[in-house]
Structure 1
């Protein structure tokens, strides 16, 4: 089913989220817009499911260009076409390994909920709420990763750093690189970019796209879905804190039991003898 190609996807309704009454969230989405990703993340949310299945089944990379056949017609997607279609920046870092270490250092404090530098091998609940959502966007809509989205990874945090610290990225090169990994046989890159590939395929006049489907509203970040994210993530944080409290109590009880084991033959109910036992027993 083509729907599996966007089961973990996220898209952005910029007009809606930029009109929110949450300054932190608005500031985060403004940073996304300023980075040059608005057209990529906010293009018309239409999916051609049959064409997508065809595209991924027949796609390959030759000389840096993505080739495929859809409905029997050959399509070629170059980095230049990709960049022009989504008005992506073509200057700046094209490789995350080039991300300045001082920018990562600064970002670890900027996004932190406590004010202390976050642990890059920890979980996203260390971060302020807008950056937790940004972490999801980086994982699902940009780097297209499957698995747990609660864990922070160096890749996700480097992408976040570019947004948080205003580091220029060659998004055309980086995102096209992800697309090439999606269609390379030897990589385990998850399939994604369902909306973006659908839009690209629509530019080829001879390609039969089949029936268009609307992208699921639940996967589009609007004012409504962002508020739902805040409620859900906040509830999960409270639940996690309660679990940690229970675990902490159990650990404390276990340590005390180990440090002060019961002595055989000691009268348990005599407070004076208990005091003597605590004060002088080796």
Structure 2
């Protein structure tokens, strides 16, 4: 059986200094990993700004084509998918929920449109039912957001609507690019916990892109750590973050540890202790 998602020696380079410049910058270099179809997991890509993690996310989503290598969904190159068919299988969640929605458009319209275009809703009633079901999975309801505009919700609520919009399509994979970085620290863990429930209850796999080691340690099954486009470390999340072997990985960990969380990363303690004691800005 083909992997749900497979990256096979994927690289991406961009021109530096303009379209016709001969100078090239490698944003992602020779990255490979796979997610199995029968083992839902949260696979995390960790890195600082400029590490190539968001470029990697865009290649998974088919927004950027690799310069070399291949991204495959269920054994098929993502470049060969018709866009609507691809979006029915893979849904994105972006960093800033206020940029994900038109401020002049009612939020429920987004969910209805997704249900009709990417889901299996055959009419208005079915679209409303699917939207309400997805909203309830993230702790909201259609009655709460019906007729409301983005500015009428908090950042945390709006990000939950963005997650619900992704769920309406009933995808097999979600790609979440820094989904909690624009959310208040007090709400970050509630959204991260939500991802864990979606994995466990719906059987969803999630590619979680982040710079936040605390939430990564708490929720990830496996991870890779990227530096300047290169994967410098990979493996089971708790094993890697408890005892990183690459100097960059150790530098990242040490930069974010609080005195209380240091022991939790190094010892086999509950990861929840790390996430609650060391929320990062």
TM-score after normalising by structure 2? 0.27
The structure carrying a bigger helix percent of its residues is 1
Q: Which has the higher contact order (CA 8 A, sep 6+)?
A: 1
- Could you say which structure has the larger radius of gyration? 1
The structure carrying a bigger strand percent of its residues is 2
